[in-house]
Structure 1
Amino acid sequence: MGLWFLTVACSSLWVGLGLGGAPCKYPPHLWCSSREIAQACKAEKQCAKVTSAPQKADPVSISLYYESLCPACRSFLVLQLFPTWLMLGDIMDITLVPYGNAKERKGATKWEFECQHGPDECLGNVMEACLIHLFEDMYFPLIFCMESSANVTQNLPTCMKLYRPDISLANLTACVNGDLGNKLMHANAERTRALNPPHKYVPWIVINGSHTEALQSRSQAALFKMVCDLYKGEPPVACLDKKSPFPHSQQYSCLNA
């Protein structure tokens, strides 16, 4: 009795709205089941409102230009960028460019690099460039693991066992020591030199294609809140709490000499 009454009531409501004209031979609960039925029953507009999902906005784009042993870069990546990505990854687009304040010159057979914090930083940079290239779906946790450890370069085997035990370290080693790693670092050097404005320090943070001192300061202070504020779509649940879940980071940098 109740179901019959509800069906009749719904039918009366739709007809009262000017829907379900003479050509319509379908009950109201089928009017939005296909485009043809919606057209026959003159219910296209109403069905569009019922069935259309809210449009997703573009993700907030964050590009980090950094070097593997810079304390300020490590602090931002470990304390701000990675935790924010864990909670808001669905509305973020992350790009990591490990190179920073390094210098390159053309050698006899390959590019040669001089890094701000010495040869071990050059090794860390190429390791992370190879991780990004080889493990597109899983590189960020690996880089976080390296950057949060006491020794960035020596901790890679442990990080691989934690996050990618199914992958042999040999592929990564071949990249690091071979032509591929050298080409990846040269590409990162070119991307870093192409920055506009040119970078003066690292971490150098580019938000939605732009770098300003205001965006840099805001990113280093409270990246999570900034991403929530910049996202134009329906905010995820994590953004509904007005307080940032992470403490503000110290705002310091490694200057480009």
Structure 2
Amino acid sequence: MEQENPLVVNPLQNMVFNKLFRLRILVFGVLTVGLWAIYYFVLRSGKVPAEDGPDFAYDIITNGQKKGVSVDVYYESLCPDSRSFFINELLPTVHKLGSHMFVNLIPYGRAETFVDGGAIEFKCQHGAPECLGNKVHACVIEKTLTDNALAVNVTSCLFEEYFQPTNNGEKCCRKFKVSWDDVKTCAYGSEGSQLLKKYGDMTNRLLPIDFIPTIAINNNRGSRSYQAAILKNLTHEVCKILKKNAIAPAVCGE
């Protein structure tokens, strides 16, 4: 009787072995991608994505007799997404709910600050024109500190022709009766540089920033999905907090 040679591999066994090997490679690949996704979307952000905002964002901010929602906008002057948010979300929301909001504008974005002795220089994501635009925004904010809604109106106007910060700046300041001479002197002088550096320090404390604009509601930016919800419908997110605290105006609906 002929004996089977142990050195000869059975074709059927070889096929089964190859299939099992490929299956192991596939499982390993799926697990690797899954672990990377968990790291990137959950651990790296430090928060578990959720459709709703975190509970502590529902607290109402009180300043004197005014109660409302704090909205901090981290943006840059030549950013198309910042422009879209101001014109389509922030401005309409302030018009509807301004008496229930504390808006803080931080024009800096992905810029960098360089200090050499007494000189302050900036490198901005969209070049030198954006650095000047950021300073114009910063100076408008400084000159309208006592009027939240006015600051939003003027800066939103600046975004209408945002590639011409000085020409449009004069037009917008005149439209809303803000002194363009004061804003221009500020933007081209040391005051503008100091203000932009201050906003840079504020932005750097928020790092890492994944997207411009980034919005913090009640000093919290939440998960990526919460950011997406804010950028899509700011009015809804502000109303949600006001409703939870039973101070929502009629414009928020039922």
Normalised TM-score (structure 1): 0.67
1:131 and 1:70 mapped to 2: Cα distance? 18
Structure 2 unaligned spans of 5+: 1-64
Amino acid at match of 1:140: V
Using the TM superposition, give the Cα deviation of residue 215 of structure 1 relative to its aligned residue in structure 2, in angstroms.
Answer: 2.1
User: Which of 172, 178, 192 is the aligned partner of 1:181?
Assistant: 192
| 8 Å contact kept, 1:59–1:92 | yes
User: Which of 100, 107, 110 is the aligned partner of 1:101?
Assistant: 110
Amino acid at match of 1:157: E
User: Which of 204, 229, 248 is the aligned partner of 1:193?
Assistant: 204
Q: Structure 1 92/168 Cα, relative in aligned 2: closer, same or farther at 3 Å?
A: closer
User: Which of 154, 162, 166 is the aligned partner of 2:175?
Assistant: 162
1:198 and 1:140 mapped to 2: Cα distance? 25
1:62 and 1:123 mapped to 2: Cα distance? 24
Q: How does 1:43-192 map to 2 (within 5 A)?
A: 58-136=67-145, 137=147, 138-149=150-161, 151-153=163-165, 154-164=167-177, 167-192=178-203
3-state SS, counterpart of residue 135 of structure 2: helix
2:101 and 2:74 mapped to 1: Cα distance? 16
Q: Quick check: which one's helix share is greater?
A: 2
Q: Deviations over 1:12-47 (max 9, x none)?
A: xxxxxxxxxxxxxxxxxxxxxxxxxxxxxxxxxxxx
Amino acid at match of 1:208: N
Using the TM superposition, give the Cα deviation of residue 157 of structure 1 relative to its aligned residue in structure 2, in angstroms.
Answer: 1.0
3-state SS, counterpart of residue 202 of structure 1: coil
| 8 Å contact kept, 2:75–2:107 | yes
Normalised TM-score (structure 2): 0.68
Q: Which residue of 2 aligns with 1:26?
A: none
Amino acid at match of 1:198: P
3-state SS, counterpart of residue 248 of structure 2: coil
Using the TM superposition, give the Cα deviation of residue 58 of structure 1 relative to its aligned residue in structure 2, in angstroms.
Answer: 3.4
Structure 1 unaligned spans of 5+: 1-55, 243-257
| 8 Å contact kept, 1:73–1:203 | yes
Give the number of aligned pairs.
183
Q: Structure 1 168/60 Cα, relative in aligned 2: closer, same or farther at 3 Å?
A: closer
Q: Which residue of 2 aligns with 1:32?
A: none
1:179 and 1:140 mapped to 2: Cα distance? 24
| 8 Å contact kept, 1:207–1:215 | no
| 8 Å contact kept, 2:69–2:100 | yes
Using the TM superposition, give the Cα deviation of residue 64 of structure 1 relative to its aligned residue in structure 2, in angstroms.
Answer: 0.5
Coordinate RMSD, CA, aligned: 1.7
Using the TM superposition, give the Cα deviation of residue 57 of structure 1 relative to its aligned residue in structure 2, in angstroms.
Answer: 8.0
Amino acid at match of 2:182: N
Q: Which residue of 1 aligns with 2:61?
A: none
| 8 Å contact kept, 1:129–1:181 | yes
Q: Deviations over 1:175-205 (max 9, x none)?
A: 111111111011011000111x521221011
Which fold has the larger relative contact order, with Cα–Cα distance below 8 Å and residues 6 or more apart in sequence? 2
3-state SS, counterpart of residue 210 of structure 1: coil
3-state SS, counterpart of residue 233 of structure 2: helix
Q: Which residue of 2 aligns with 1:208?
A: 218
Q: Structure 1 57/184 Cα, relative in aligned 2: closer, same or farther at 3 Å?
A: closer
